[in-house]
Chain A
Amino acid sequence: MAELVLKRIAQGDPRAVSECIDEFGGLVWALARRLTRTRADAEDAVQEIFTDVWRSAGRFDASQGSEKVFISTIARRRLIDRLRRSRNEPATEPVDVLDLADWSEPGSRAEVCVEAERAAKAVAQLRPEQQKVLQLGILNGMTHSEIAASTGMPLGTVKTNMRRGLIQVRELMQVLVDARGEVDS
């Protein structure tokens, strides 16, 4: 099995840096487009994300998840930070009207990695209001207050649904990991 690209970056292999762009560029671009208001913003974010990924490659631990999840975690942190900043700034150029992303029939399609498959199965088991809060917050980058305003839920309920939803998804994903382990053994 080929050595993981992030591990090779951490070991100093310059070709791995280029391979990282080829392998994960489409993913990072898709995530950036989803959580930015303009195309230019998305492009700047992608540059920052990749630099961050290379610098952080040494922290990647395959026992904690796939490279896609590691990169997605870094990407989201950068994108969330940019979103927070942009909320404080008046828009100086036309912003795209973003379609609300959702999980249509989660678990019914092929996902980009095993964690996404597990997460899809897990989220499908949540209560509809929890699914809605996670969808608006995680897929669409809405703040808890924005979710409350959008759904009419009290802010406290939004926060509770977000927290419990994430913990439940984590537990359900772990059940799927354990079940897989039993099958394998």
Chain B
Amino acid sequence: MNPALLRDERLLDLLVKQATEGITLEEQAEMERLLAAHPGADREEIARVAASLALVGVEEEPMPAELRDRVRADAALWITRREAKVADLGAKREAQREPVVRELPVRGRSSPWPWLATAASLLVAIGALYWRPDVQQVQVPPPAPEPVTPSQEREHLLAHGAGVINAPWTNTEDPASAGVTGDVVWDNAAQKGYLRFTGLAPNDPGKFQYQLWIFDAKQDERYPIDGGVFDVPAGATEVVVPIDPKIAVAQPVMFAVTIEKPGGVVVSGREHIVALAKAAAAG
């Protein structure tokens, strides 16, 4: 362990507390500030020691069959999503990388003859209509495609998805909810969707983050599905955020956004609910 970190009593206290009983939002923020003074420090070391101790004497026992099936179903969904993301990313990169043949006029003193031969064969192959003696083949990258923004993807989903849910945000009594407008777009068949906000205050991700919760009719109301954490950058007038549910959503009935510690939480204390939307399929 970094000796300087060992001398930082408060940071050590927080790392120990995090590894043994968990820390509050404020403590998390404080810990991040203190860790910033120790670049390269192994922040997980205390947690690994605690994890090693937790393994002492542990007796593994088979998971119940029904639970194993549920975890396998989660795995299948996770793999599908990951592969879709990889394919999507790959397609975008390929589109940016794939060269196209452009014809440019020869400049300078280079000999035209090798290029003439190439050009001639190309022109013959395509049944050229014109004789253009000063032509060379060069490979240049195509113009970069316009990036597809979450906003565009949202519009596309809304326009083309059948049975897509489109639910407006309603405000709560939380002060942070005042002036928040926008909506949720969710395609349950595709397990894909977007949140749109105006008026949601920008956040410092080191202090707190917004987290989406999806209430599912098939799940215990106390444990809504984690829909992912997100940030609102300073200066943004409208933000569109992709929904990132951690498990499959069966029958969404309500969407809620809470303020949570950086990185989000597993179960929200629901102290700060800043937006609510009741699900209803779009026209």
Using a CB–CB cutoff of 8 Å, the interface residues on chain A facing chain B are: 12, 14, 17-18, 21, 25-31, 33-34, 40, 43-44, 46-48, 50-51, 54-55, 64-65, 68-69, 72-73, 75-78, 80-86, 88-89, 92, 101-104, 106, 109, 111-113, 115-116, 118-120, 123, 134, 137-139, 141-144, 159, 162-163, 166-167, 169-170, 173
Contacts and interface: CB of A to CB of B under 8 A. Distances in A.
A81 B55 CA distance: 19
A82 B49 contact: no
B68 A106 contact: no
Contact of B60 (A84, A112, A139): A112
B72 A43 contact: no
Contact of A101 (B20, B57, B220, B266): B57
B19 A166 contact: yes
Q: Lowest 5 CB-CB distances: which A-B pairs, in order?
A: A26-B60, A116-B55, A72-B51, A119-B52, A115-B52
A120 B188 CA distance: 48
B30 to A, nearest CB: 16
Given A44-B223, A47-B70, A166-B49, A111 B75 contact: no
Contacts of A21: 68, 71-72, 75
Given A29-B63, A166-B46, A73 B51 contact: yes
A13 to B, nearest CB: 10
Q: Is the interface of A mostly helix, strand, loop or mixed?
A: helix
A80 B20 CA distance: 7
A120 B53 CA distance: 7
B102 interface: no
A109 to B, nearest CB: 7
B56 to A, nearest CB: 5
Contacts of B59: 30
B93 interface: no
B213 to A, nearest CB: 13
Contacts of B46: 166, 170
B50 interface: yes
Interface string B197-221: 0000000000000000000000010
B54 A27 contact: no
Interface stretch (B78-86, B103-111, B274-282): B78-86
Contacts of A169: 49, 52-53
A9 B1 CA distance: 29
Contacts of B13: 159, 163
Residue of B44, B56, B246, B247 contacting most chain A CB atoms (<10 Å): B56
B55 to A, nearest CB: 4
A46 B71 contact: yes
Contacts of B62: 25-26, 29
Residue of B21, B60, B70 contacting most chain A CB atoms (<10 Å): B21
Nearest to B268: A85
A43 B64 contact: yes
A72 B21 contact: no
14 contacts: A43-B67, A44-B223, A46-B63, A46-B67, A47-B74, A68-B55, A69-B51, A76-B54, A84-B21, A111-B56, A119-B55, A166-B19, A166-B20, A167-B12
B60 A27 contact: yes
A54 B50 CA distance: 21
A51 B61 CA distance: 20
Residue of B51, B67, B83 contacting most chain A CB atoms (<10 Å): B51
Contact of A72 (B6, B55, B74, B226): B55
Contact of A65 (B12, B48, B226): B48
Given A26-B63, A85-B265, A170-B1, A116 B75 contact: no
Nearest to A54: B78
B283 to A, nearest CB: 34
A5 to B, nearest CB: 12
B78 A17 contact: yes
A179 B44 CA distance: 23
A44 B74 CA distance: 12
Contacts of B61: 26, 29-30, 33
Contacts of A44: 223
B234 interface: no
A51 B47 CA distance: 19
